[in-house]
Amino acid sequence: MALTRDQLAQRVAQEFRDGDYINLGIGIPTLAANFIPPGVNVMLQSENGLLGMGPFPTEDEIDADLINAGKQTVTMAPGASLFSSADSFAMIRGGHVDLTVLGAFEVDTQGNIASYMIPGKLIKGMGGAMDLVAGADNIIVTMTHASKHGESKLLQECTLPLTGKGCIKRVLTDLALLDIEDGRFILRERAPGVSIEEIVRLTAGELVVPDDVIEMDL
Amino acid sequence: MSGFDKVVGSYEEAMAGLEDNMTVIAGGFGLCGIPENLIKEIKRKGTTGLTVVSNNCGTDRYGLGILLVDKQIRKMVASYVGENKLFEEQMMSGELEVELTPQGTLAEKMRAGGAGIPAFYTATGYGTPVGEGKEVREFNGRHYILEESIQGDFAIAKAWKADRYGNLVFRKTARNFNPMAITAGKIAVVEVEEIVEVGELDPDEIHLPGIYVDRLIKGNFEKVIEQRTVRNNK
């Protein structure tokens, strides 16, 4: 079975290390904050100017001046700090954020990512995504492996305008966890109950299937 | 009255001198920390042909979005179109010129514009449509593109508290682009929730010194929340 949104978030959270400063993109990446493993302390960076993001507020705590990058009302965790957008992106571009998790429309075998527009159809804007992928060493892309019509989103070469070039090394889809190395996807883990044949069929870019592909432990 | 007193008496006075085809840099992120009354004053004035530089363009009904309704904006420099349908429609139809700019690059363009730096190199956007036509240079084996800084004829911004000299304190994530926007404006207009007497702010707590501020006004704020997300009380 393909992973649910919560399971994707849970698998992402397994990558968190104690003491990590982490930026989570809108959507599934943000959900990962609900699955932080016990004993792991992380500090969430919100690029609009908050380090140490807490959970959503109670009705009484709602503050219009305190939102996350998805414009949702949030709270601050103990040890939080506030700063301007220029300082926020100095942190990001300067490589001070340990892990970035974000969504995408497409990734390819060269580590390219496309996530901000579909010409003629949809223009979201890149927001902070271009800075995040340019600044972080450690990036995980979360996405569905294929479109609803069964078209692969893991391509030999991206077809949409790029958000970043040669910056993605790890992709988590609803079917598999893959690394990108030497211009190829390498299958590392498969979702429980998903066959290697299905992953091969839905991966358009060159894919290496090592002998030791494991089933995800969720 | 000191020559350093930045307080003006009305919104009309605050935006005096804004003319058609000028460039306005605006602080705010989404609807958080936006100079909502200064935007309303631009709508009231009916100034057109504006180039507006701001991370977002508000929503269909609030913030800078209200300037799209009567097509007062000719060009928008922003990082995110997001949930603003009107923005997306005018962009797709070509009525509105849009320069999509990465968020960190936009912040740095404002910062540099206010700091006398004409341009800077950044890795952000290299190899993407943002980098097209821009100078590329390699430093230590990585590629960077040259981005030019931005200055505005006007900057409009919101802070939490100020003294009469325009020393500013921001509140929580309503700070966002506001400090940089202010520094990059030839005429910087700031609206705040509270104005205190000079000497009442601890110099150590001032986020932005009054040297950058030209006009200051106290406003009443609606503070619309875009995504009201809550958890259960327990």
- The model's pLDDT over B45-104, given as tens digits with 9 standing for 90+, comes to 999 999 999 999 999 899 999 999 999 999 999 999 877 889 988 988 899 999 999 999
List chain B pLDDT tens, one digit each, 234 residues.
689 999 999 999 999 999 999 999 999 999 999 999 999 999 999 999 999 999 999 998 999 999 999 999 999 999 998 778 899 889 888 999 999 999 999 999 999 999 999 999 999 999 999 999 999 999 999 999 999 999 999 999 999 999 999 999 999 999 999 999 999 999 999 999 999 999 999 999 999 999 999 999 999 999 999 999 999 765
Which contiguous run of DSSP H or E holds residue A172?
Answer: strand A170-173
Chain A to chain B Cβ contacts (< 8 Å): 175
Tell the CATH superfamily of the A5-215 domain.
Glutaconate Coenzyme A-transferase (3.40.1080.10)
Residue in chain B nearest A95 by alpha carbon = B123
Examine residue B144 and state whether it is found in any structural domain, yes or no. Answer: no
Whole-angstrom distance, CA of residue B57 vs CA of residue A14: 37
CA B206 to chain centre: 19
Instruction: Provide φ and ψ at A179, rounded to 5°.
Output: -105, 160
- Could you tell me if B29 lies within 8 Å of chain A, comparing CB atoms? yes
Task: Find out whether B170 and B33 touch, Cβ atoms under 8 Å.
Answer: yes
Asked if the structure places residue B114 within a domain, the reply is: no
Contacts of A56 in chain B (CB under 8 A): 229-231
Residue-level pLDDT at B88: 87
- Residue A214 has φ and ψ, to the nearest 5°, of -105, 165
- CA gyration radius for chain A? 17
Nearest to A131 among B102, B224, B233 (CB): B102
Q: What is the ipTM of this complex?
A: 0.96
Q: In chain B, which residue's Cα lies nearest the Cα of A163?
A: B128
CA distance B228 to chain A (A): 6
Tell whether B50 is covered by a domain: yes
Name chain A contacts of B78, Cβ cutoff 8 Å. Answer: 125
Is residue B181 in some structural domain?
yes
Tell whether A85 is within 8 A of chain B (Cβ).
Answer: yes
Residue A6: what pLDDT?
95
Interchain contact, B104 vs A164, CB within 8 Å: no
B172 touches chain A (CB under 8 A): yes
To the nearest whole angstrom, how far is the Cα of A26 from the nearest Cα of chain B?
12
Min Cα separation B131/chain A (Å): 10
Residue at B159 is within a domain: yes
pLDDT of res. A156:
98
Which helix (H) or strand (E) segment is A31 a member of?
Answer: helix A28-31
Inter-axis angle of helices B103-114 and A85-93, nearest 10: 120
- Domain tally for chain B? 1
State yes or no: is A47 an active-site residue.
yes
Provide the residue ranges of all domains of chain A, joining segments of one domain with +.
5-215
pLDDT value for B233: 63
Mean pLDDT by 10 residues, chain A (218 residues): 94 96 92 93 97 95 96 96 98 96 97 94 91 94 96 98 97 98 98 97 98 95
**B48 part of contact set with chain A, CB < 8 Å:** no
Enumerate the residues of chain A whose CB falls inside 8 A of the CB of residue B93. none
What is the C-alpha to C-alpha distance for residues A17 and A109, in angstroms, rounded to an integer? Answer: 27
Residue B26 domain-assigned (yes or no): yes
Domain membership of residue B208 as a residue range: 19-100+151-218
Question: Given CB atoms, is A26 within the 8 Å cutoff of chain B?
Answer: no
Q: What is the CATH number of the domain that holds B78?
A: 3.40.1080.10
pLDDT of residue A120: 84
- Flag whether B68 is in a domain: yes
Give the closest-approach CA distance of A210 to chain B in angstroms. 31
**DSSP H helical ranges for chain B:** 11-14, 36-45, 66-69, 85-93, 103-114, 178-183
pTM metric for this prediction? 0.96
| Partner A, chain B 175-214, Cβ-Cβ below 8 Å | 175-180
Among residues A47, A151, A197, A198, which one is catalytic?
A47
